[in-house]
Amino acid sequence: QVIKCKAAVLWEANKPFSIEEVEVAPPKEHEVRIKIMATGICRSDDHVISGALVMPFPIILGHEAAGVVESVGQGVTSVKPGDKVIPLFVPQCGECKTCLNTKGNLCSETDLGTRAGLMPDGTTRFTCKGKPVYHFLGTSTFTEYTVVHESAVAKIDPAAPLEKVCLIGCGFSTGYGAALQTAKVEPGSTCAVFGLGGVGLSVVMGCKAAGASRIIAVDINKDKFAKAQQLGATDCINPRDFKKPIHEVLLEMTGGGVDYSFEVIGHTDTMTAALACCQCNYGVSVIVGVPPAAQKITFDPMLLFTGRSWKGSVFGGWKSKDAVPKLVADYMKKTFVLDPLITHTLPWTKINEGFDLLRTGK
CA dihedral 280, 225, 44, 347 (to 10 degrees): 160
Query: What end-to-end distance do the CA atoms of the chain give, in Å?
Result: 41
CB-CB contact of 215 with 245 (8 Å):
no
Single out the residue of 333, 337, 327, 341 nearest to residue 180, CA to CA.
Answer: 327
Integer Cα distance of 61 and 134 in angstroms: 9
Can you say whether residue 350 is alpha, beta or left, with left for phi > 0 and alpha for psi between -120 and 50 degrees?
alpha
Active site residue 63: yes
Is there a cis peptide before residue 239, judged by omega within 30 degrees of 0? no
Which one from 63, 135, 149, 247 is the annotated catalytic residue?
Answer: 63
Alpha carbon 75 to its chain's center: 29
Q: What is the CA radius of gyration of the chain?
A: 20
Active site residue 277: no
**Order of strands across the sheet with 31-39?**
145-149, 31-39, 65-72, 84-87, 153-155
Which one from 47, 135, 149, 247 is the annotated catalytic residue?
Answer: 47
Which one from 99, 166, 170, 236 is the annotated catalytic residue?
Answer: 170
Integer Cα distance of 46 and 49 in angstroms: 5
Active site residue 170: yes
| Phi, psi angles (nearest 5°) of residue 323 | -80, -35
Catalytic residue positions?
42, 44, 47, 63, 170
